[in-house]
Chain A
C-alpha cells in the first residue's frame, strides 16, 4: 500500500491552507455583491462605509490598473462589475479593513443605486431573436456553438424502422469543495506581487493577476497552499479573487487576506452547466442504430468561462460508446443572467451521459430489446470509426470488456430479473438496478496545447527535489508523482522532497484539469528522471556496480556533474475541423461502466441506494488504493447529481447558499461500493496509465435513472430525481408491461 505523502500533515492539522496564513500588518477584504442580477449601476456611495473604524479602502472597477475584463477563453468577465451587473454573484467592490468584522460592517453601509434591466434566466429566452443582449459587444447571446456533421442523418432515418425522440434536462450543481476560496497577497519591494492561495491551477491565477494588475507575468508569483478540494471549481473564481487581492495589496502596500464564507463562495463561483438535450435516433427492428440527431443547449450564465470546452467535450462524446453511422449534432452554450457555469469534474459528461444512457435504455424498450444486448450490438469495436471520423486503432477499445466485468461482478442477470418494473411489493416498495457506460477522451484534446514540465534536482546529500507543473488538487497527485519519480530513479519515496507549484519556478504546464495530472505529470517526471540517469550512468559505471545511490550522487557532485533536469512532455497530435466537427479529437480514450442497485419507498418516493459498482479502464492503476478511492468518490458525487443536488435560482438569485439547503450526499447514505480496476496499458501514458478522476463521475446519474425505471416503470428525464418528483410520478404510474 502506498502512503499519501501529504497524509500526516493533513490529519494532524499541520497542513497550511490559505486561511492559516497570518502576516504582520495584514488587512482583510470582503466582496460586495451585485444588488440585482441584471442592473445598471447608477452610483456607488461609499461615504458612510469609509468612515467605519478600521476601514482601509474600498476598491471598485476604477481601481483596476490593468485590464478590467478577464477570462481563459474569451475575456468577458469583469473583475469588478462596472456600470452593469450581469449576475447576482458579480462583485461591485471589495472592502478592505484592519479586521474582518470592520470590513463586513462597512460593506453593509455601501449604498448602491441601480436600475434593474430586463433579465434572462433561461437559455431558451436568451436565444430568441431580439432578446436583450447580455454582452452588448456580441451579436447575440450565443456564447459558442459546435456542430458535427457525419454521414447523412436523413438517409439514416429512412433506413430505420423506428424513430424515437426524447428530451433530458440537468441542473446547476455546486462543486461543494470543503474549503471556500481563499488567498493572501503581498506586494514585494521590487514592485512584484506574491499570492499564496488555494487555486487548482496556479498558472491561470498568474495570468489573470498579471492582466488585471498590468504587471508582466514574471512579476506575479503564485504559490499554491494546501488545497481543500477543487473538483474543477478552483479555477476562474479563485484566479479573479487573486487578481483582486493583488490590486489591493499593490495599492495599500499591506498584505491582504481574502477568505470567502460559504455563502460568498456559492454566490460568486461557477457551477456545473445545466443541459437541455434533445435526441432523435433511428434504429432498425433488429436493433442497429442508424442515425442520431443531437441538440445540446447549456446555460453558460453571465460569463463565458470554459463554456466552449465544456460543450465541446459532450459534442465529441454525444453518441456514447455506440456506432451511429450518421450523426448531426449541434451544441450551444448560451449567456443568461444566472450564475456563470464552468469546469466541473466530468466537464459536461455527467450531463450528456445521463441523457445518452437514459436514451439508450429508452430505445431498447421501444424495440423490445434487452438494454444490455442492445448496447452490445452497437458498441464501439476495435478499429471502428466514430462520428468525428476518428479511427480507434491506437488504443484498446475496452467498452465491452468493462461492461462485461461490471455486470458479471454485480450478478446483473439475476438481479435484473428481480426488478419490480412498476409492480410494487407488499409494502408498496420497488426494487431496481440500472447501468450506464461511456467512453471518454483523455486530457485536453483539441481544447488546447497539452504540455507539462517537471524539475528534478538532486542535492549533494542525495535528496531528490521534485517539482511538477501540474498541481495537487487533493486527488493525490503529489503522491503519484513522488512514487513514479522514486521508482524510476530506484530510490525510496522518502528521499523525495516535493515542492509545491511555484509559477516562477516550473514552466506553465497547462491546467490541472481533464483528468490529465497523472498522465502528463508522470510523463514529464519520467523524462526528467531519464536525463538524470543519463548523467549518472557513466559515473556509476566508474565507481563500481554495487555502489549506492548516495555514492553515485556524491561522486557526481565531486566531479561537478550537476544532477538536475527539466523533464517535459508534449501531447501527441490531435485535430479538429470546426465547421464539420470532424477530426481526431483526443489522442486516446478510457472506458467505464457503473451499476447501481436501489429501492424506492413507494409511498414517500424516497430512494435508498443499496449498492454501487464501478469498473474503469484507467490504463494502469499507479496506486490502486487511491484509484479505488477515486471510483468510490466519483460514484457518490454522481449519486448526489442524480438524486439530490441542485442550486436553485429564483430570478437569478441563488436560494440555497449554504449546505443546510444545498444537500450533498452524506456518509449516512453512502451504500456498499465496489471498484473494479481494468488495465489496458496505453502507449501514451506513464507506465501505461491514462485517466480516472472524471470518468468515475460521469455515469451514476444515468445508471440511477435507469434503475428507477426498472424499479418503478417510470422514466425520469430530469435531474435531480427527487422524492417529490418520484412520488408524484408514481401516483400517475403505469407499469412497464402495460
Chain B
C-alpha cells in the first residue's frame, strides 16, 4: 500500500484528485475498518502533517476548527474551552488519551458514525463543514450533511478542511453528556448535547438513530418556555418521536430510549443551577 504524506493543503487536494486514495487523518477509524473488512485501498493520503488543517481560530464572530485538529488539541484549546466547553467535554470522552492524541475532529465528522461523540455538539450548534477540492470550496450546514446511515454529502475528490461554528451569544448554556459501558474506551450507548441560548433550545443526540439527530419537536415545545421539571416531563413524551434507537451489541433500544430521557431531565436539573 502506498502512503503519501501531503506536504500542505494544496498538495493534499491535488493528490486527492489525482490518486483518488482515501484520506488518512489519525487512522483510528479507517485502519480499524480496513483490518475488519480486509478491504485495503491501493494507497492513502496522509494529512496528519498538514499544518493548515490544525488551526483553531476566531474570526468575524466565527470559530473555525481545522479538520486535522486532534481531539486532544481541540480539548486543550483555550477558545474552545471558553466558547464551546461542551465540545471540550465531548472530545475528552472520545476513547481515551491515546485515541484523543491521534483521532481528529475531521475524522469523527467524516467517519459519520451515529455514535461519534463530537457530532451532537456540532449539530446542536448549527455548525457548518467546509469541503474543499481542486475545483473549489463548498460550505454545507451540518443539518444537511448526514443523509442516512454513514452517508454524507461529500464528493470523492473533496477534503474536509474545517468546521465552522458561530460564536455563541453570551449566556448560552450547553452541556455534553454520554452514557457508555465504562469510563474510557467505550463507544456511546447514547450521547447528547443540550444548548439553551436565551429562550431557545437546541438538542441533539447521537447513537439513537441512523445519523446524529436534532430533536426538533422537543426544541419547538421548549422554545420560549421557562424550563421546569414539569415542562421537561412533558417534553420527554415528545422525545420518542425524535429518536429511533435500535438494539445492538452495545445496548438495547429500550435502555437507549430510557436514558435519552434521563439525560434530558438531567439537563433540566443542570439548568436550574445556572
Interface check B255, CB cutoff 8 A: yes
Show the binding face of B for A, using Cβ within 8 Å: 32, 38, 96, 179, 181-187, 249-252, 254-255, 258-259, 262, 265-266
A sample of 17 cross-chain residue pairs with beta-carbon separation below 8 angstroms, ordered by A number, consists of A104-B38, A108-B38, A603-B259, A603-B265, A604-B179, A644-B181, A655-B249, A660-B185, A660-B187, A663-B181, A667-B184, A723-B181, A724-B252, A727-B258, A727-B259, A728-B254, A728-B255
| Chain A min CB distance to B34 (Å) | 13
Which residues of chain B come closer than 8 Å to A606, judged between CB atoms?
179
Q: Which residue of the partner chain A has the closest CB to B266?
A: A603
Interface check A729, CB cutoff 8 A: no
Distance A666 CA – B183 CA, assembled complex (angstroms): 8
| Chain B min CB distance to A229 (Å) | 18
Whether A666 and B185, one on each chain, are in contact in the complex, defined by CB atoms closer than 8 angstroms, is yes
Once A603-B262, A604-B259 are accepted as A-B contacts, the answer to whether A665 and B252 lie under 8 Å apart by CB is no
Inter-chain contact count A-B, CB under 8 Å?
Answer: 49
Whether B181 and A668, one on each chain, are in contact in the complex, defined by CB atoms closer than 8 angstroms, is no
Which residues of chain B come closer than 8 Å to A605, judged between CB atoms?
255
Residue from B38, B182, B254, B265 in contact with A644 in the complex, judged by beta carbons closer than 8 Å? B182
Most chain A beta carbons < 10 A, residue from B32, B185, B265: B185
Residue from A104, A603, A665 in contact with B182 in the complex, judged by beta carbons closer than 8 Å? A665
Q: Which of A650-671 contact B (CB under 8 A)?
A: 655-656, 659-661, 663, 665-669
Interface check A648, CB cutoff 8 A: yes
Besides A104-B38, A666-B96, 12 more A-B contacts (Cβ < 8 Å) are A603-B259, A603-B262, A603-B265, A604-B262, A606-B179, A660-B32, A660-B187, A666-B182, A666-B184, A723-B255, A724-B252, A727-B258
Interface string of A707-738 (1 = CB under 8 A from B): 00000000000000001100110000000000
Q: Which residue of the partner chain B has the closest CB to A101?
A: B40
Distance A669 CA – B262 CA, assembled complex (angstroms): 22
Which residues of chain A come closer than 8 Å to B251, judged between CB atoms?
724
Distance A724 CA – B190 CA, assembled complex (angstroms): 13
| Chain A min CB distance to B37 (Å) | 11
Distance A728 CA – B259 CA, assembled complex (angstroms): 11
Which residues of chain B come closer than 8 Å to A667, judged between CB atoms?
184
Distance A644 CA – B250 CA, assembled complex (angstroms): 11
Whether A668 and B262, one on each chain, are in contact in the complex, defined by CB atoms closer than 8 angstroms, is no
Show the binding face of A for B, using Cβ within 8 Å: 104, 108, 603-606, 644, 648, 655-656, 659-661, 663, 665-669, 723-724, 727-728
Which residues of chain A come closer than 8 Å to B185, judged between CB atoms?
659-660, 666
Which residues of chain B come closer than 8 Å to A668, judged between CB atoms?
96, 182-184
Which residues of chain B come closer than 8 Å to A655, judged between CB atoms?
249
Q: Which residue of the partner chain B has the closest CB to A107?
A: B38
| Chain A min CB distance to B187 (Å) | 7
**Closest 8 A/B residue pairs (Cβ):** A668-B183, A668-B184, A603-B262, A724-B255, A666-B184, A663-B181, A604-B259, A661-B249
| Chain A min CB distance to B264 (Å) | 11
Q: Which residue of the partner chain A has the closest CB to B255?
A: A724
Distance A655 CA – B248 CA, assembled complex (angstroms): 10
Which residues of chain A come closer than 8 Å to B96, judged between CB atoms?
666, 668
| Chain A min CB distance to B211 (Å) | 21
Distance A659 CA – B183 CA, assembled complex (angstroms): 14
Most chain B beta carbons < 10 A, residue from A606, A656, A660: A660
Distance A724 CA – B254 CA, assembled complex (angstroms): 9
Distance A656 CA – B248 CA, assembled complex (angstroms): 11
Distance A668 CA – B181 CA, assembled complex (angstroms): 12
Whether A727 and B182, one on each chain, are in contact in the complex, defined by CB atoms closer than 8 angstroms, is no
Which residues of chain B come closer than 8 Å to A604, judged between CB atoms?
179, 259, 262
Q: Which residue of the partner chain B has the closest CB to A603?
A: B262
| Chain A min CB distance to B36 (Å) | 9
| Chain A min CB distance to B28 (Å) | 11
Most chain B beta carbons < 10 A, residue from A108, A648, A663, A665: A663
Which residues of chain B come closer than 8 Å to A666, judged between CB atoms?
96, 182-185
Which residues of chain B come closer than 8 Å to A663, judged between CB atoms?
181-182, 186
Distance A668 CA – B92 CA, assembled complex (angstroms): 13
Distance A296 CA – B138 CA, assembled complex (angstroms): 65
Which residues of chain B come closer than 8 Å to A644, judged between CB atoms?
181-182
Q: Which residue of the partner chain A has the closest CB to B256?
A: A724
Which residues of chain B come closer than 8 Å to A724, judged between CB atoms?
251-252, 254-255
Distance A659 CA – B38 CA, assembled complex (angstroms): 18
Q: Which residue of the partner chain B has the closest CB to A659?
A: B185
Which residues of chain A come closer than 8 Å to B184, judged between CB atoms?
666-668
| Chain A min CB distance to B205 (Å) | 15
Distance A728 CA – B251 CA, assembled complex (angstroms): 13
Which residues of chain A come closer than 8 Å to B32, judged between CB atoms?
660
Distance A276 CA – B255 CA, assembled complex (angstroms): 26
Which residues of chain B come closer than 8 Å to A728, judged between CB atoms?
254-255
Which residues of chain A come closer than 8 Å to B249, judged between CB atoms?
648, 655-656, 661
Q: Which residue of the partner chain A has the closest CB to B250?
A: A661
Distance A79 CA – B252 CA, assembled complex (angstroms): 38
Distance A668 CA – B265 CA, assembled complex (angstroms): 26
Which residues of chain A come closer than 8 Å to B186, judged between CB atoms?
663
Which residues of chain B come closer than 8 Å to A661, judged between CB atoms?
249-250
Distance A666 CA – B254 CA, assembled complex (angstroms): 26
| Chain B min CB distance to A601 (Å) | 9
| Chain A min CB distance to B186 (Å) | 7
Distance A728 CA – B253 CA, assembled complex (angstroms): 12
Distance A663 CA – B183 CA, assembled complex (angstroms): 11
Which residues of chain B come closer than 8 Å to A603, judged between CB atoms?
259, 262, 265-266
Q: Which residue of the partner chain B has the closest CB to A602?
A: B262
Which residues of chain A come closer than 8 Å to B250, judged between CB atoms?
661
Distance A663 CA – B185 CA, assembled complex (angstroms): 9
Which residues of chain A come closer than 8 Å to B266, judged between CB atoms?
603
Distance A453 CA – B259 CA, assembled complex (angstroms): 58
Q: Which residue of the partner chain A has the closest CB to B35?
A: A261
Most chain B beta carbons < 10 A, residue from A604, A656, A727: A604
| Chain B min CB distance to A653 (Å) | 12
Whether B255 and A669, one on each chain, are in contact in the complex, defined by CB atoms closer than 8 angstroms, is no
Q: Which residue of the partner chain A has the closest CB to B252?
A: A724
Distance A659 CA – B266 CA, assembled complex (angstroms): 30
Distance A656 CA – B249 CA, assembled complex (angstroms): 8
Residue from A648, A660, A669, A723 in contact with B183 in the complex, judged by beta carbons closer than 8 Å? A669
| Chain A min CB distance to B33 (Å) | 12
Distance A383 CA – B265 CA, assembled complex (angstroms): 59
Distance A659 CA – B182 CA, assembled complex (angstroms): 12
Q: Which residue of the partner chain A has the closest CB to B183?
A: A668
| Chain B min CB distance to A669 (Å) | 5
Which residues of chain A come closer than 8 Å to B179, judged between CB atoms?
604, 606
Distance A192 CA – B252 CA, assembled complex (angstroms): 55
Which residues of chain B come closer than 8 Å to A723, judged between CB atoms?
181, 255
Which residues of chain A come closer than 8 Å to B187, judged between CB atoms?
660
| Chain B min CB distance to A201 (Å) | 31
| Chain B min CB distance to A718 (Å) | 15
| Chain A min CB distance to B117 (Å) | 15
Whether B183 and A727, one on each chain, are in contact in the complex, defined by CB atoms closer than 8 angstroms, is no
Distance A270 CA – B96 CA, assembled complex (angstroms): 29
Distance A655 CA – B252 CA, assembled complex (angstroms): 15
Distance A660 CA – B182 CA, assembled complex (angstroms): 11
Which residues of chain A come closer than 8 Å to B182, judged between CB atoms?
644, 663, 665-666, 668-669
Q: Which residue of the partner chain B has the closest CB to A725?
A: B255
| Chain B min CB distance to A698 (Å) | 23
Distance A644 CA – B249 CA, assembled complex (angstroms): 13
| Chain B min CB distance to A672 (Å) | 15
Q: Which residue of the partner chain B has the closest CB to A105?
A: B38
Distance A108 CA – B38 CA, assembled complex (angstroms): 10
Q: Which residue of the partner chain B has the closest CB to A606?
A: B179
Which residues of chain B come closer than 8 Å to A648, judged between CB atoms?
249
